[in-house]
A and B are shown apart, each in its own frame.
Chain A
């Protein structure tokens, strides 16, 4: 059983469309991290959110941490083919990260 539930599992959209990935848990985390992983590579950190209610923007990517620090979302505006990849959320408690199952995003040109 995954501690973190990610949805959707797969997402295929056309270039220029928007998308949102959700990460939910019944557990409270001290922080939550989002990674993107491309085939044949390790996960690359996109953002760390620490404060409940925090919103962080990274160009076309917007990350939100829930007020109760149990959930998070990743929103991509005007998606591009370069956004294609596996998006992973990971919640931190003590020194350990618990990963969601991941969302595979495909952006078609």
Chain B
């Protein structure tokens, strides 16, 4: 199984600022994903982080708001840009190996925007 860590674990940010969340996997994985979980709700996929190319965003999420990097097979970042209180949420990194069905999640980053 893959072990995933995220930094920071939580943050409180001011409206209009940006926060970059880091995700590190302990092994090389083909696929990495970013999810959002709003309070009391289930997980919504933001985008698939592609190594060496632009991320693939889901409907309702755009690159200008959530730029993503994936420089190698073990690391990815998600930036939440120009934050507003509506961005307050848990942001979760996830990873999966090609050809395998199992997907693992990091502990999440709890973001509060004031």
The answer to whether B101 touches A88 (Cβ under 8 A) is no
* Binary interface encoding of chain B residues 22-55 relative to chain A, with 1 for a CB under 8 A from any of its CBs, else 0: 0000000001010000000111110010000000
Total A-B contacts with CB atoms under 8 angstroms apart = 52
Give the distance to chain A from B112, nearest Cβ to Cβ, in Å: 13
Q: A48 at the A/B interface (Cβ < 8 Å)?
A: yes
Residues of chain A within 8 A (CB-CB) of B41 are: 101-102
CB within 8 Å for A31 and B108 given contacts A88-B42, A101-B41: no
Give the distance to chain A from B18, nearest Cβ to Cβ, in Å: 23
The answer to whether B42 touches A42 (Cβ under 8 A) is no
Give the distance to chain A from B11, nearest Cβ to Cβ, in Å: 14
The answer to whether B42 touches A48 (Cβ under 8 A) is no
Q: Is the interface of B mostly helix, strand, loop or mixed?
A: strand
Report how many residues on chain A are interfacial, defined by Cβ distance under 8 Å: 23
Q: B75 at the A/B interface (Cβ < 8 Å)?
A: no
What are 30 of the A-B contact pairs (CB < 8 Å)? A2-B42, A33-B102, A33-B103, A35-B105, A40-B110, A41-B107, A42-B4, A42-B105, A42-B108, A43-B92, A45-B1, A45-B102, A45-B104, A45-B105, A48-B101, A48-B102, A88-B42, A90-B43, A90-B103, A92-B101, A95-B31, A95-B96, A96-B45, A96-B48, A97-B33, A97-B43, A99-B43, A99-B44, A101-B41, A101-B42
**Complex: A92 Cα to B42 Cα, angstroms:** 16
- Other than the known A40-B110, A43-B105, A90-B43, what 7 A-B pairs have Cβ atoms closer than 8 Å? A33-B101, A42-B105, A42-B108, A45-B1, A45-B104, A45-B105, A48-B102
The residues of B with any CB-CB pair to A shorter than 8 Å are 1, 4, 31, 33, 41-45, 48, 92, 94, 96, 101-108, 110
Q: A30 at the A/B interface (Cβ < 8 Å)?
A: yes
The answer to whether A95 touches B42 (Cβ under 8 A) is no
The answer to whether B104 touches A30 (Cβ under 8 A) is no
The answer to whether A41 touches B108 (Cβ under 8 A) is yes
